[in-house]
Structure 1
C-alpha cells in the first residue's frame, strides 16, 4: 500500500469515527447552542466570502462578510473539527476576483478573525472559544501562542514515523489547529519562537513536545523572559 493509499484509508477511518461519535452525542443529550463566530477586521475594507466545511468536508454554511461585520454560524458541535475558508474579494459585495484564499481549522464554539498586518499580509486566525479550557476537537493537534512579549511561533508537527505532517505560523494571542491526527498515537510538535510577529527573523527558542491527538501545546513567557512549552488538553 502506498503512502497516499494509507493516508486515504486513515482519513476514511477518522471520518467513520467522527460520524459514530457525533451520532452518539446527539442521542445522549439535546444539542447546545454552539456557534462559530467570524469577524472581518480588515483595515482596508475588503469583503470576504466565508465557507464553513463540516467534519466530512461538505459545505455547511457560506455568507458574504463585509468589513467590520461579525457573522455567527450555529448548530456546530464542539467534538468535531471544521474548516473555515475565507476568499478575500475585489468588491465590497463579495463580487469580483478573489485575491487571497485563506483557511483555518476550528472547533464548534471558536471565534475567528480576519485582519491585515502593517505590512499588508492577510491573516485568518483562530482566537479559541474564549474559555480557559479551550478544548481541542477530535483528531486535532493544536498550538496556542500565549506569549505576551509579541513573538510569533513557527510550528512543525511530525507524524508517527517522523515525517513532517503540517506546519504554520502562530502569532501572539492566537491558536492554530491541524486535523487528521488519529488517536491513540502521539505526535511531536516543534515550536520555533521567532523574533517578529509574522514568523520572520531568527529563532529565540527551539523546543518540542510529544502530545496525543485531541491535545496540543501552549507557549508562554515568564517575567524573566524565559519561554515555556506546556501540554494543553
Structure 2
C-alpha cells in the first residue's frame, strides 16, 4: 500500500496540489458568499508575528479612525484584521524565532505552517482582503506574480522612500507614525500594499464586488494620505 501511494504521488503530485488549491479556493469563496458581512473591510496581515486579541483590536481601531463610510450599512464603521502567522526559511532557522524571550526553544508545527502558506497564497489571489500588511519576503513572492496595484495608479505622488513601485513601509507612512505605539505589535519592516482585483467576482455579485473594491481603494488612499493637520 505504501509503495502504491509513493508511486501515485510521484506521478500525480502536481495534479493533487493543483486540485487541493482549487478546493481551498472554492471553500473560501463559498464561505465568503454565504457569510454575513460583519465588517466594512477586511485587512490581511501575514508575517512572523502573532498579535494577541487586544493588539488586533487596537490595530483595527486605528484603521477604523480613517474609515469614513459605513459600507455594509449596518450603522457602524468596522474593520477586521485577518492574521496569518508565517515564517520564511531564514526566519525559521534564525535564533530570533527559535527561542522565546525566556530562552526556551520554540517548536513549530510544520504542517500548520504549510497550511498557513496555502491560506496566504489563496488569500492573495482569490481572498476577500484587498489591503495587505505583509512581511517583505511574502510580499516579494506575490509581487513577482503581479499581485499588487502600482502606487502611482492610486496616489499622485509616490514617496521616495517607497519599498518599490507597489508597496510602502507601514512605519514610514504618516498613519504608521501616528499609530506607532499600536503597530509595535507588527515587525518594523511590515509593508502596506493594495491587491489587484481577483476573479472571485465571477462567482459572486460582480457589481457588489466592484463597489467593495472601490471602497477599499478609497480607504487605502485615505490611509496613505493620512495627516494629523
Normalising by the smaller structure, the TM-score range is under 0.3
TM-score under structure 1 length normalisation: 0.25
Relative CO higher for 1 or 2, CA cutoff 8 Å, sep ≥ 6? 2
Question: Higher Cα Rg: structure 1 or 2?
Answer: 2
The structure richer in strand per residue is 1
